[in-house]
Amino acid sequence: MEPMLVSEESRHRAGLTDLAVELAGKAAGLRGSLAPGLRVALAELVRSMNCYYSNLIEGHDTHPVDIERALRNDYSADPRKRDLQLEATAHIAVQQWIDAGHLRGRAVTAEGVREVHRRFCDLLPEDMLWVEEPGTHERIRVEPGALRGRDVKVGRHVAVSPGAIPRFMARFEAVYGRVGRTDAILAAAAAHHRLLWIHPFLDGNGRVARLMSHAVLLDALDTGGVWSVARGLARNVDVYKRHLAECDLPRRNDLDGRGHLSEEALAAFTRFFLTTALDQVAFMEQLVQPERLRARIRLWAEEEARLGALPAKAGAILDAVLYRGALPRGEVGGLLGLTPRHGRRIVSALLERGVLTSAGPRDPVHLAFPASLASRWLPGLFPEKTR
């Protein structure tokens, strides 16, 4: 499994370190530019987006609108679609647990990796816990959090034997658990591949690796969960999978590091991973640029008001919430020059449409980003639902 990181002596190291430093600065800038209420609302939607793209890499297409319905216990009557919705809610539940800080400092530990797998699989429908042996067509149940007890081959890569998994996971934890902040950003890419190379579980390794990488970046960059590398990986899925396959290859020559596996390939994947992350930060930064976001929301509210679907001054409330991050309910009437009752009526209409949210009937209101409106408010975040 060596090298575990691109070495200090590698000719690629300086360029990768520059990318890591740039990513740290850009991620901090994006997070710091968002009001707390807006950051929370955006993180909620990004969670669904991350789930959508991570599952899409596995060939499972569950649109965030359908994911949002599932989170409201509105499931499809089609058993297959329902199972995919349940799979999506399982992914979101685990990421929510990670975002709440429950994996902090443990993302690259053997115990932490197993807990991610266990939590994800515990929430899956029974039908999705079975895999079929390619040669014999034998059906085998995936046990949540359990290391595999069988040999597996992924593409051309023969993963380590079941008996060797604990030793490899111990080495994985020893190396990635002791790196500094800059190396932790580089390790997010290296550990991503090396976990897939070990392939510790019978199934679910890809999702666990991406959730682990999300947790590593959350710790190393304090991302606030407002962007996701999974979107970039899914949009370049062939390149992503090609890099992973090339990282499986042995060292090419005497200039290709000193480990068993290719350091050149690991450096190339690390560069791809970091530039993909930078692209996603830049994309989200452009998407939530305050004046552009405000203009898109205001236009939507004006159109809804003309159609009679929202009260006339609803847009002014959304504008105020976007600017301030939160708005006490008692201030709505005065802000709009209306009676308190009229102000409450407008707030209720916006809460009903799902564009405002509140912890309780007397608590301040915050902006929300429904997946059904993402194509209008945050175009390009994920494809528009067509059916």
Cα four-point dihedral sign 112, 82, 68, 273 = positive
H-type helices in the chain, by residue range?
A: 13-33, 36-57, 64-71, 79-99, 110-122, 165-176, 181-198, 205-221, 229-235, 237-247, 263-287, 290-306, 314-324, 332-336, 340-353, 374-377
| Predicted model pTM | 0.93
Q: What is each CA distance from 138 to 96, 152, 157, 378, in whole angstroms?
A: 35, 14, 21, 45
Domain map (residue ranges) of the chain:
13-287, 290-377
Q: State in words which class domain 290-377 has.
A: mainly alpha
CATH code, 13-287: 1.10.3290.10
> Can you list the pairs that 28-32 forms with residues at least 24 positions away whose Cβ atoms lie under 8 Å?
28/221, 28/222, 29/285, 30/226, 30/227, 30/281, 30/284, 30/285, 30/288, 31/222, 31/223, 31/224, 31/226
Q: Tens place of pLDDT for every residue, the chain, 387 residues? A: 999 999 999 999 999 999 999 999 999 999 999 888 889 899 999 999 999 999 999 999 999 999 999 999 999 999 999 999 999 999 999 999 999 999 999 999 999 999 999 999 999 999 999 998 877 889 999 999 999 999 999 888 999 999 999 999 999 999 999 998 889 999 999 999 999 999 999 999 999 999 999 999 999 998 989 999 999 999 999 999 999 999 999 999 888 888 999 999 999 999 999 999 999 999 999 999 989 999 999 999 999 999 999 999 999 999 999 888 888 988 888 888 888 888 889 999 999 999 999 989 889 999 999 999 999 999 999 988 765
